[in-house]
Amino acid sequence: MRNKSLIIVLTLIVSALCLYYLSFSFIARSVQSRAELYATDAQGNVNMVKQQAYLDSIWKEPVFMGMTYQEVKENELGLGLDLKGGMHVVLEVSPVEIIRSMSGNSKDPNFLKALERAQELQKNSQERFTTLFAEAYREVEPNGRLSRIFSNTANRGKISYESSNEEVIEVIEQEVEDAIGRSFNILRTRIDKFGVNQPNIQRLKGTGRIQIELPGIDNPDRVRKLLSGMANLEFWEVWSPEEFGPYFMQVGQYLDKQQQAGKLNLATTKADAGDATGNVSIVEETTEDVLAQAAAGDSDSAQIAAAKMDTAATALDSLANDPQAGVLASLFTQMPGGIGANVRDTAKINDIFSRPEVRAMFPSNMKFLWGVKPIAGDNRQEFVEFYAIKKGRDGKAPLGGDAINDARQDFDQTGRPEINMTMNPTGAKKWARLTGENVGRQVAIVLDNYVYSAPVVQGEITGGSSSISGNFTIEEAQDLANILKAGKMPAPTRIVEEAVVGPSLGQEAIQQGLISTLAGFVLVVIFMIAYYSRGGFIADLALLFNVFFILGVLAQFNAALTLPGIAGIVLTLGMAVDANVLIFERMREESLKGLSMREVINKGYEKAFSTILDANVTTFLVGFILYFFGSGPVKGFAITLMIGIVTSFFTSVFISRLFVENAFKRGGKLSFSTLISGKMFRNIKFDVMKYRKPAYAFSLGILVFGFVAMYINGGPNLGVDFRGGRSYVVEFDQAVPASDIRSALVDDFQNQGTEVKTFGASNRVKIITSWLADDESIEADEQVKSALMSGLQEYNNLTPEVLSSSKVGATMADDIQNTAMIAIVLALIGIFLYVMIRFSKWQFSLGGVVALLHDALMIIAVFSILDLFGISYEMDQVFIAAILTIIGFSINDTVVIFDRVREYMNDNPRTAIRDLVNPALISTFSRTIITSLTLFLVVVILFFFGGEVLRGFSLAMIIGVLAGTYSSLFIATPIVVDTVKDDKKAAAPAPVAQKVR
């Protein structure tokens, strides 16, 4: 074996890296176990608040190799929402509202008609909305000028009356893109402040959509309001430290007295003083007089007098730095701009300042806000600034974000980053008054109740143009400019896709996934040893390395393990065997020629290499297309599949050879057969070409019957993600007939597309409705949920519980359908081109692609036939993943046969291809059956033990494996023969016959 040392070193390096990254998961689980043990009482009940307090206390503490618990959590192999519960949301930034705002809410009838027309076109198009709007406007008013509508004060300097339609559309496109970027930044900040462990937020490229995953969420309604709320940008006056310092001293004295009396509890809690949107406003307005309350309450007049007599600077310095200053002092620290606190102490401070008796000690026009960006301190600690905000007489900010026309990052005269900001005329007047009254003081720029910046005013600013300078990096200045622009233009978001998974359903999914994975692995291990003897044991070792590498690489990429990802691992177990089967079958062929074992090993790996490479490249191509066009669960499956293909190639071709050569070196001999397998597949004789026409007719008959059944059924049984709507998984205490539940819900859902079916257990159903599918608002979500609960009232004695829910808007459903079709078409085109390049004949590509199309249509047809007989499974994104996976598997099988045909053609250049096909099929028949049987057994295990979520996927895979094996033999190769113009004379291929066992 060439480069043996390199393979050993590479294996050791990859193994060490995988072990290192997987260790984070073990450490994180260990810490969580200690936290649970700490929070468990004598009765075995876990106090979640106490558990979280423990985790918060060590969040910044080293727990593994000098790394903090936070860093360990960031590097662990996480679990997807379908395994641990949580919420998945896809939001879309509404370009319609942005365009309306840019037009100054124009009432021009043609403009409004064009907007409506663009919205109609969007339902069946992948084009940008701005492109569709331009097309619609040309359609409504062919000679109209958009500059007439958009040349207003808000767009001054960008659009003039002389601007062409193309120039106007270009400006609109840029504004829409900027709005999406601003929305992304705002949402990211909101999510970061929401207190969710390991949230995931990302922009979906090529769309105006943002995908958010929130593990462990138990209040979806709060999340919906948080994500859909408009950004609230405000400018506030700021109290100086000298002004608010005495009040802090007063609170500190009060807390010290409470602590001495044993009445103060400073346990960290997850509760905050936030409103329904999750924004923290620690001290709310109170109309009570602070001094009167203080005198009548727990503080006496002497303490008040003392607080007034102390200088504010001394008071604040004592509060922040004196270790003897008391309870409050221990929570704050001095910062360059005033005071702040350790991030982990903010929950305690929120709790203190939300108490009525503490709020009463401050003036009614004083409230407190946190800075948005943590500042790194010593010993890996992070601190956040604490601001005292001065409220106006009506409690509103002196200036709102609607006053801003534009903001952009620039550089000052010394080359330092700054932000240039312009305001409309009304805002300019308010800004001049605000800055004039606060020269030498701070003005806070606040978004969603978090302070993004608090610059010091150098002088009164008139004219509406101003700059904000400070110690900004370029990125910080750009972010602040985006924040300022967020108040300029409304960019509302709407939830177009949503899924909520309860923790109990996630735990069940974990158990089902583990059972199916272990069962599949054990089955493959037993089969390989039973069939290939010691060679099978070596293949199993390579398989074990394969699973280890898959998990390790997933951990290195910070990927989350999902239920479809587990399906990908199970599938990889079946497909990884294929490479070893190819190698071992080649070795068995070569051993029949009387070669030495050393030559048998070399020839086996050498001749199988190109076939394995071709088979893996085609399957990887399918996985890449799945990843690029898929979303949510499909992406998770595709990532695992691609990683599995790469690792299985490495383990099967290189690591297994190390084991094989080492075993041969030690024992001097090596067996790849058992008494049973050594006699199997001998003297097989069949003529594929003789039965090709009956095979064509059989396939055509099944397909016609399937599509007739689909017509009778009223079309394909599409899932929610393809047709739009809402679905709920509901569990009862006892079994309830699905038909009865549907009858109870039909009226509540306005007789619009209600479907109910048993989902896994007999006491669990899945309810699907298309009612209000076109309405993606939160109000519509609540209306449908209310109708659901109203319809289930008659089953209240069975305590119905919604375990999970999902929603896909009509527009999103159209996009998912289109991307699914594109994915399938691109997979077929990519495979066609690759096979044509590798085999130098388009006939091979045609035969392969026709067979793949046959397999995909066969799955759809059989699903429709089963639906006709009452066995109903949805065709959804996971179903498309199954089809594309079968395309990868089937072309894998077909390429192996094609490779043998090509080999025989090269060895017998004067023999007609028709005479080479049967020997090629017979010589690869054992490999075809063994690989197909192994994968078939694995997907059957997945069907029975993988859970209801993957049952449709598993069934599609079962049908696909059978169809793919059949098409490789009776469709793909015969089509090659039927399309190749072969003028060679038919002759008995004697040299070929020597290779057939």
| CB 68, CB 116: distance < 8 Å | no
- Confidence class of residue 257 from pLDDT cuts 50, 70 and 90? confident
pLDDT in tens, 419-470: 888 888 888 999 999 999 999 899 998 887 888 888 888 888 888 888 887 7
- Kindly report the backbone phi and psi dihedral angles of residue 455, in degrees, each rounded to the nearest multiple of 5, phi listed first: -70, 155
pLDDT of residue 633: 67
Rounded distance between C-alpha atoms, residue 229 and residue 226, angstroms: 6
436-457 exposure pattern, b = at least 16 Cβ within 10 A, e = fewer: eebeebbbbbbbbbbbbbbbeb
Spell out the domains of the chain, with CATH numbers in brackets.
4-76 (no CATH), 92-184 (no CATH), 186-224+494-499 (no CATH), 234-486 (no CATH), 502-709+815-993 (1.20.1640.10), 725-808 (3.30.70.3400)
Residue predicted with more confidence, 338 or 903: 903
Rounded distance between C-alpha atoms, residue 142 and residue 630, angstroms: 38
| CB 709, CB 872: distance < 8 Å | no
Would you give the DSSP letter of residue 152? Answer: S
Please say if the pLDDT value at position 288 is more than 60.
no
Say which amino acid occupies 88: H
| CB 769, CB 742: distance < 8 Å | no
The proportion of the chain whose per-residue pLDDT surpasses 90, expressed as a percent, equals 11
pLDDT in tens, 343-372: 878 878 888 888 888 888 999 889 999 888
Would you give the DSSP letter of residue 654? Answer: I
For residues 585-611, average pLDDT: 83
How many helices (H) and strands (E) in the chain? 36, 24
Say which amino acid occupies 387: Y
For residues 916-926, average pLDDT: 85
The proportion of the chain whose per-residue pLDDT surpasses 70, expressed as a percent, equals 87
- Confidence class of residue 279 from pLDDT cuts 50, 70 and 90? very low
Close Cβ partners of 961 (under 8 Å, ≥ 6 residues apart): 886, 889, 932, 935, 936, 939
> What's the Rg (C-alpha) of the chain?
34
The residue among 741, 793, 786, 787 whose CA lies nearest residue 767 is 741
The token duo for 198 is 């390991």
Rounded distance between C-alpha atoms, residue 90 and residue 64, angstroms: 35
Rounded distance between C-alpha atoms, residue 995 and residue 773, angstroms: 62
Largest CA distance in the chain: 117
Rounded distance between C-alpha atoms, residue 853 and residue 837, angstroms: 20
pLDDT of residue 458: 86
The residue among 660, 678, 658, 679 whose CA lies nearest residue 669 is 660
Please say if the pLDDT value at position 486 is more than 80.
no
Alpha helices in 199-240 (DSSP H): 220-228
Please say if the pLDDT value at position 120 is more than 80.
yes
pLDDT of residue 382: 79
Rounded distance between C-alpha atoms, residue 381 and residue 363, angstroms: 32
- Token look-up 């400006």 returns 171
The token duo for 689 is 């070409």
Lowest-confidence pick of 291-305, 843-857, 904-918: 291-305
For residues 495-499, average pLDDT: 81
For residues 838-859, average pLDDT: 90
CA distances from 15 to 5, 279, 580 (A): 15, 45, 21
The residue among 422, 412, 413 whose CA lies nearest residue 157 is 422
Measure the N-to-C terminal CA separation of the chain; round to a whole number of Å: 27
Please say if the pLDDT value at position 4 is more than 50.
yes
Close Cβ partners of 433 (under 8 Å, ≥ 6 residues apart): 398
pLDDT in tens, 973-991: 899 888 887 655 444 444 4
| CB 236, CB 404: distance < 8 Å | no
Residue predicted with more confidence, 319 or 306: 319
pLDDT of residue 143: 87
According to DSSP, the residues that pair with 274 across neighbouring strands are 280
Say which amino acid occupies 519: A
pLDDT in tens, 729-764: 898 988 888 888 888 888 888 777 788 888 877 888
Rounded distance between C-alpha atoms, residue 648 and residue 655, angstroms: 10
Would you give the DSSP letter of residue 439? Answer: B
Please say if the pLDDT value at position 717 is more than 80.
yes
Average confidence score pLDDT of the chain = 80
Phi-psi region of 799 (alpha: psi -120 to 50; beta: other; left: phi over 0): left
Lowest-confidence pick of 272-281, 578-587, 615-624, 800-809: 272-281
According to DSSP, the residues that pair with 400 across neighbouring strands are 234
- Confidence class of residue 996 from pLDDT cuts 50, 70 and 90? very low
pLDDT in tens, 396-407: 888 888 788 888
The residue among 691, 659, 651, 451 whose CA lies nearest residue 552 is 651
- Please return the burial class of 185, using the count of CB atoms within 10 Å of its CB with bins 0-12, 13-18 and 19+: middle
For residues 799-817, average pLDDT: 79
For residues 639-663, average pLDDT: 87
The residue among 177, 168, 80 whose CA lies nearest residue 128 is 177
Q: Tell me the pTM.
A: 0.69
Helices 738-745/778-791 angle, 10° precision: 120
- Please return the burial class of 166, using the count of CB atoms within 10 Å of its CB with bins 0-12, 13-18 and 19+: exposed
Please say if the pLDDT value at position 716 is more than 90.
no
- Confidence class of residue 380 from pLDDT cuts 50, 70 and 90? low
pLDDT in tens, 64-114: 888 888 888 878 887 777 777 788 888 888 788 888 888 888 889 999 999
Rounded distance between C-alpha atoms, residue 738 and residue 69, angstroms: 47
For residues 236-253, average pLDDT: 86
DSSP, collapsed to helix, strand or coil, labels residue 491 as coil
pLDDT in tens, 547-563: 899 989 988 887 777 77
pLDDT in tens, 618-637: 888 888 887 887 666 677 77
For residues 923-933, average pLDDT: 84
Rounded distance between C-alpha atoms, residue 208 and residue 196, angstroms: 24
For 840-891, strand residue ranges (E) read: none
Please say if the pLDDT value at position 697 is more than 90.
yes
Expressed in percent and rounded to 5, the helix, strand and coil fractions of the chain are: 60, 15, 25
The token duo for 812 is 């999103």
Rounded distance between C-alpha atoms, residue 635 and residue 560, angstroms: 11
Highest mean pLDDT among 7-16, 341-350, 900-909: 7-16
Residue predicted with more confidence, 74 or 314: 74
The token duo for 878 is 């996971």
- The β-bridge relationship of strands 417-423 and 465-469 is antiparallel
pLDDT of residue 798: 87
Rounded distance between C-alpha atoms, residue 254 and residue 297, angstroms: 10
Residue 824 belongs to what H/E stretch? helix 810-839
For residues 140-155, average pLDDT: 87
For residues 668-691, average pLDDT: 74
| CB 918, CB 689: distance < 8 Å | yes
Rounded distance between C-alpha atoms, residue 632 and residue 721, angstroms: 11
Please say if the pLDDT value at position 117 is more than 70.
yes
Would you give the DSSP letter of residue 684? Answer: -
DSSP, collapsed to helix, strand or coil, labels residue 889 as helix
Rounded distance between C-alpha atoms, residue 428 and residue 436, angstroms: 12
Please state, as a whole number, how many other Cβ atoms lie within 10 Å of the Cβ of residue 892: 26
- Confidence class of residue 313 from pLDDT cuts 50, 70 and 90? very low
